[in-house]
Structure 1
Amino acid sequence: MRLHPVDGADARAVRDALPAALDGLRPIALGFTPDADDEVPDGTAVVIATSGSSGVPKRVVLSGDALTASARATARRVGEGQWMLPLLAGYVAGVQVLVRSLLAGHEPVMLDGHFGPQAFVDATAALDAGIRFTSLVPAQLSTLLDASTELPAVRTALAAYDAILIGGQSLPAPLRERALEAGASIVRTYGSSETAGGCVYDGIPLDGVRVVEIDGEVRVAGPTLATGYLGDPELTARVFVPDDVGVVWYRTGDAGTVSDAGVVSVHGRIDNVIVSGGVNVSLDRVERVVRGIPGLAQAVVIGTTDERWGEASVVFATELQNPDAVLETVRERVAAELGKPARPSHIHVLSQLPTLASGKPDREALRRLLR
């Protein structure tokens, strides 16, 4: 079947295109213009270009069955109601807000213009009375909480939702605590475009989703998996791997564990590792510790070369009054929790951290700044 491009920045256009896409009648391309010879399997609903925050962007093929299986599993977990969309509709989290709305028979409320505290308040006020949901990335949640001290209406709006799904990147513990204190009902989600969005909520897989840990890597199976990558059969074969009985497992590339009780814990990317003084250091774990320090909830940790240690990490942050003192605190905390080889060597203070359209940190832009 042929793909039909839709502007992912136009939420209403995506919403209008979804019914035919989910029925397999008119599959859509989000985030890229398909080539004339791009063909997708029958049943394809959406092909999404990933943000490419840590590598080359990929084009993920999602069937209507995968998207609806995810949406229905979410409804079974958190309930059905009306959704407000503050995310770009061209990314999987935005698509899923629209799919959940369609399946529930409710028109979603779309944010008017760019995301901001007042726009969030206005969109929340436009929701019908009843059960309400929305989905945010941590940076958006942080923006709202920062604004709530001067705009009490933001705090009221946050508390108006029966559940606020938080995904796209890890949620720092201090940020989660601030949100709970503000009365927000936070649900931490884990997933990706390849799993049709969040497939693990607060550590528990959605119904039908199976998660295992093999050689330290989190792998996922179930009805929400993508079909593969458009135009890249080799990558598809490496990432979507059938087992001995034919069950296909998605190799996430994430390091993590699954407890005996089935609780999933994700520690970061397997490949986001440096070797400092001969010791393997996970930059994701370093970043998690750094973000637990007051004032650094949105900090980003990047690897760099180091003449003495071979490799080291540096911290990018904003609005620090005394970077030297903060760096000392960071090094002490990281050393205490992860060991001395994991200590960052520098803090770079920027007026604003670069981000991708999805709201995630633009790590490649930060690496270019280092170079």
Structure 2
Amino acid sequence: MRGDRTVPSTLRGLLIGGAAAGGALVPEGVERGYPIALTYGLTEAGSQVATAPPALVAEKPGTVGLPLDVVEVRIQDDGEILVRGPTVSPGATNTEGWLATGDVGRLDDDGHLWISGRISDRIVTGGVTVDPRSVELVLEELPGVSAAAVAGLPDDDWGETVVALVVSEPDTDADPEELIGRARERLSASELPRRVEFIDALPVNANGKIDRAAVRAAFSGASLA
């Protein structure tokens, strides 16, 4: 969707799912006229829980839309998404039929679902819980940033500190201190990355999702291989 390619006249839709689309990919695609739909699901729930059609993606960038008619979605006090319905594998649910997804999100006033990350990815620094995806979204909106991956690095004083791997846009200066300075204007002291490293491509796992263990390894001196 990037570059100077034109939108094929026969293209009816692009469905993006499996992992969050990073950076400006979706906004840029929508602006250029690509009919992008965003979906959220997991294997235990028939691979689809909610889907945002192209019109909604253009209206509310970031939402994955309304839950399917046959699916119930509930948000726990800690932000975890629970799912129930006939598409959910009964072996993965509690006694009331709810599947704990391990994902964090919210439902807005219109019932649209928003995904912010994984509970296991949360960073606790100085007693404050930080959602890495929220930090990544801020970093990816900064000029010159193509994509970002955030993780918590063990710290004797704070428990964890926030660190970030960043992929820069072509032909831009990669200056970690300058990036941290710009991010300081939009992030709280707890959310602000203490260290930033630039990299050619973000480390991902076999499912194409950010490998946060590899992000931590990049700052601890371990190999990313």
User: 2:13 corresponds to which residue?
Assistant: 163
* C-alpha distance in 1 between matches for 2:128 and 2:211: 26
Amino acid at match of 1:323: P
Tell me which stretches of 4 or more aligned residues in structure 1 moved more than 6 Å: none
Distance 1:352 1:214, change over 3 A: closer
State the Cα distance separating 1:260 from its structure 2 match.
Answer: 4.7
Which ranges of structure 1 fall in alignment gaps of 5 or more residues? 1-143, 229-235
Amino acid at match of 1:262: G
Distance 1:272 1:241, change over 3 A: same
Could you say what secondary structure the match of 2:123 adopts? strand
Bigger radius of gyration among the two:
1
Could you say what secondary structure the match of 2:147 adopts? coil
| Contact 1:210 1:221 (8 Å CA) reproduced | yes
Distance 1:207 1:358, change over 3 A: same
Q: Does 1:179 align with 2:29?
A: yes
Could you say what secondary structure the match of 2:124 adopts? strand
Distance 1:165 1:301, change over 3 A: same
| Contact 1:167 1:198 (8 Å CA) reproduced | no
| Contact 2:164 2:215 (8 Å CA) reproduced | no
User: 1:220 corresponds to which residue?
Assistant: 83
Q: Does 1:306 align with 2:155?
A: yes
Amino acid at match of 1:303: G
| Contact 1:254 1:266 (8 Å CA) reproduced | yes
User: 1:206 corresponds to which residue?
Assistant: 68
Distance 1:276 1:316, change over 3 A: same
Could you say what secondary structure the match of 1:242 adopts? coil
Could you state the TM-score of these two structures normalised by the residue count of structure 1? Answer: 0.50
State the Cα distance separating 1:227 from its structure 2 match.
Answer: 4.7
Amino acid at match of 2:193: P
Amino acid at match of 1:369: A
User: 1:271 corresponds to which residue?
Assistant: 120
Could you state the TM-score of these two structures normalised by the residue count of structure 2? Answer: 0.79
* C-alpha distance in 1 between matches for 2:165 and 2:138: 14
Amino acid at match of 1:212: R
User: 1:77 corresponds to which residue?
Assistant: none
Distance 1:278 1:180, change over 3 A: same
Which ranges of structure 2 fall in alignment gaps of 5 or more residues? 53-64, 221-225
| Contact 1:318 1:350 (8 Å CA) reproduced | yes
Whose helix fraction is larger, Structure 1's or Structure 2's? Answer: 1
Distance 1:297 1:205, change over 3 A: farther
Supply the RMSD in Å over aligned alpha carbons.
Answer: 2.2
Could you say what secondary structure the match of 1:207 adopts? coil
| Contact 2:150 2:215 (8 Å CA) reproduced | no
State the Cα distance separating 1:331 from its structure 2 match.
Answer: 2.7
Number of residue pairs the alignment of both structures matches: 203
Distance 1:279 1:356, change over 3 A: closer
The percent of aligned pairs where both chains have the same amino acid is 34
User: 2:204 corresponds to which residue?
Assistant: 355
Distance 1:328 1:307, change over 3 A: farther
User: 2:185 corresponds to which residue?
Assistant: 332
Query: Matches of residues 189-204 of structure 1 in structure 2 within 5 Å?
Result: 189-202=39-52, 203-204=65-66
Distance 1:194 1:259, change over 3 A: same
Could you say what secondary structure the match of 1:179 adopts? helix
Distance 1:298 1:196, change over 3 A: farther
User: 2:135 corresponds to which residue?
Assistant: 286
